[in-house]
Amino acid sequence: MNSHKELYPQERHNEILRLVAEAGRVSVSDLSRRFGVSEVTIRSDLQLLAAQKLLVRTHGGALAGDQSMSVLPLTTRLQLQAQEKRRIGQAAAESVSDGDAIFLDTSSTTLAIAKYLKQHRYLTIITNSLAVAQEMLGAPGSEVVMPGGRLRRDTASLVGTDGLEMLRPFHIQKGFFGAHGITLEAGLTDVSADEAEVKRPILAMCYQVIAVFDSTKWDKVGLASFAELAQIDRIITDDAPVELAKQIRTLGVELQLV
């Protein structure tokens, strides 16, 4: 639709939703050219539609809302709430000491943690994330341990529990786990049953379990649960609903807002 007449905002919003439903994704630059309005206006439109949960905002565009319940490719997930993930990653990395053995799962938020761990020394990072392992190639002070498994391309990870036996001798001081969603009833959930299957036994090996996720994950439920709230020691996030935060703290879970 390359209309010469200027659309009313509501008409433009409806057209944006139609386009994102057809194509699965849209970019700010393309929409700006298509509707003859500034990129600032388009970003405002997308933010408004995202707030209504009609689509998922990304850096530079948006995804269809129904994709938020599927396993998005890692490259796409890295763009979602990128600034919040950087803050969470930095705060989580500050809790890691030289000499620690830690687990980082395959979430985009734990990848943000890895970026802040490169100056640590005598660090052992256990992960099934190929992206985390690649990120730590430039960190000579860290040893990376990867249990074997089947390659899952969309999450850039190794899944399956056959290779986890090699981790039994390890004392894992801290485990950092991302999530698709968190509720009081379901705990931490993932949209991938394969990923949840790996997380459950590793979580049980960690002395301290730290959940790391941005505030869009509150009150969402994914396909498979991998941790009850009673198993979580701390949550690091950018924001939290007041009532849920109160209930979480009542359960003895430390809540760190960054």
pLDDT tens per residue across span 224-243: 899 999 999 999 999 999 99
pLDDT above 90 as % of the chain: 68
Nearest to 241 by CA among 211, 209, 216, 212: 216
HSE on the CB side for 44, CA within 13 Å?
8
Phi, psi of 198 (to 5 degrees): -80, -40
Residue 4, phi-psi category: left (phi > 0), alpha (psi -120 to 50), beta (remainder): alpha
Nearest to 155 by CA among 191, 175, 129, 127: 129
Helix 9-23 with 39-51: angle, nearest 10 deg: 80
Nearest to 41 by CA among 13, 14, 63, 73: 13
Nearest to 81 by CA among 53, 56, 45, 110: 56
Q: Which domains does the chain have, with CATH numbers?
A: 9-68 (1.10.10.10), 82-257 (3.40.50.1360)
Residue 6 pLDDT > 50, yes or no?
yes
As a whole number, mean pLDDT of residues 137-144 equals 94
The span from the CA of 229 to the CA of 65, in Å, is 27
* Mean per-residue pLDDT over the chain, rounded: 89
Residue 108 pLDDT > 80, yes or no?
yes
Q: State the pLDDT at residue 2.
A: 47
Q: Tens of pLDDT along 152-192? A: 988 889 999 999 999 999 999 999 999 989 999 999 999 88
As a whole number, mean pLDDT of residues 55-59 equals 82
As a whole number, mean pLDDT of residues 41-60 equals 85
pTM above threshold 0.75: no
Could you give the residue ranges of the DSSP H alpha helices within the chain?
9-23, 28-35, 39-51, 74-77, 82-94, 108-114, 130-135, 193-205, 242-250
Q: State the pLDDT at residue 245.
A: 95
Residue 76 pLDDT > 80, yes or no?
no
Q: State the pLDDT at residue 14.
A: 84
Residue 1 pLDDT > 70, yes or no?
no
